[in-house]
Amino acid sequence: MEFREIPVASDLVEIASILKRSGFFNEEEQQVGVSLIEEFLEQGEKSLYYFQFAQENGRVLGYTCFGPIPGTKESYDLYWIAVDPDYQKRGIGGMLLLKTEAAIQGRGGKRVYIETSSSNLYIPTRSFYTSHGYQLEAQLKDYYAPSDDKLIYVKVLLSERRL
């Protein structure tokens, strides 16, 4: 398996397929996921979106999209993480997360924030985050819909880790 940071035009179709087949993202969310890649292809790093792609034999198996949080000095958002459903449970998501955290550290980032839903559909997602050292930092009640809260997880990188 290989990893790369720079999106290419063919990623648009592959990521759209992964997001659709994952069963986690609605149509609007899928369009947003692809549009961030389009924005990078048009603007490069000026877009302030960064990526990690896992691929094998030229096929994208998963990706992350992340970027600095405006108005902060060392905080980043992990906007997207998705792995092809045919390749899940093989450690690809964990490797992508580690590569992403290393890239964030390389850019001077010290904290990574991830937002997700409290719905039952996302139980495996939340378990994945906590198993990789992320802690629930905040909960916004009824954010997405009644009884569907927004959960914000954080991981402190390097020596600033909380005790």
In tens, the pLDDT along 71-86 reads 999 999 999 999 999 9
pLDDT for residue 163: 44
Q: What residue ranges of the chain have pLDDT lower than 50? A: 160-161, 163
pLDDT for residue 17: 96
pLDDT for residue 158: 76
- Spell out the residues 6+ positions from residue 155 whose beta carbon is closer than 8 angstroms to its own: 101, 111, 112, 132, 133, 134, 135
pLDDT for residue 103: 97
pLDDT for residue 90: 95
* Cβ neighbour number for residue 135 with a 10 Å cutoff: 11
Topology annotation, domain 2-160? Aminopeptidase (3.40.630)
pLDDT for residue 159: 59
For the chain, the 3-state helix, strand and coil shares in percent, each to the nearest 5, are 40, 35, 25
